[in-house]
Chains A and B, each alone.
Chain A
Amino acid sequence: MSIRNLTWQQVIVSLALLAAVVVAYKLFGELPAGVLLVISGVVNLLLGRDPPRPPNGGNGSGTGNGLYLLGGSILVLVHASTGCAAPQTRPQDDVELRDLAATLSKCRGEGRDAGTYAAYESCKVRELGR
């Protein structure tokens, strides 16, 4: 069974899936579960389709094998991307900047409650060490 037996629609959808994986990875620095779910669903739809029957009335058996290979390759790429290639520092950095914003907000609240800049400053020193 070769890839030549795929319909052009199946090839286009498969290429679109690969493009979706690349775009999602570039955007998020990782592949979110939702993207994986959508991709898995579309791959399953592809695999679940009735294979096109040849004009001579045969059963078209074996046509699905190419899809299994293609779908499997996509899933392997997906797992390889999430397991090996995702940068580990970017999400942590985002969280740290968000933590800083939350800490500053908390200290502003303490300063407002006390009504003094010193209260804000002491909270900042306590929370941030500066």
Chain B
Amino acid sequence: MSTLAQILGALAEHAELVELLLGAIEGGADKQSLEKALRAAMIQTSDAAMREELEKP
């Protein structure tokens, strides 16, 4: 039940992202391309954060 509550909480908290994903799926995006985009976004965000943190003068 805690897992179910966690899932429902996450869905409520990130409703906009869920809508975005549903829109992408309805628009024809398949799971593999979504996963690829998620990976790229994770790496890009991490790179940007590290540049900001470590390359500041």
Contact = CB atoms under 8 A, between A and B. Distances in A.
A117 B42 contact: no
Interface residues of B, number: 16
A104 B38 CA distance: 13
Contacts of B55: 117
Contacts of A97: 35, 38-39, 42
Given A27-B4, A27-B7, A117-B55, A108 B46 contact: yes
Label chain B's interface by main secondary structure: helix
Contacts, number: 37
B42 A104 contact: yes
A62 interface: no
A32 B3 contact: yes
A53 interface: no
Contacts of A93: 31, 35
Interface residues of A, number: 19
Interface in B14-57: 31, 35, 38-39, 42-43, 46, 49-51, 53-55
Given A32-B3, A108-B46, 6 more contacts: A93-B31, A108-B49, A111-B50, A112-B54, A117-B50, A120-B54
14 contacts: A93-B31, A93-B35, A97-B35, A97-B39, A100-B42, A100-B43, A108-B46, A112-B54, A116-B54, A117-B50, A117-B51, A117-B54, A117-B55, A120-B50
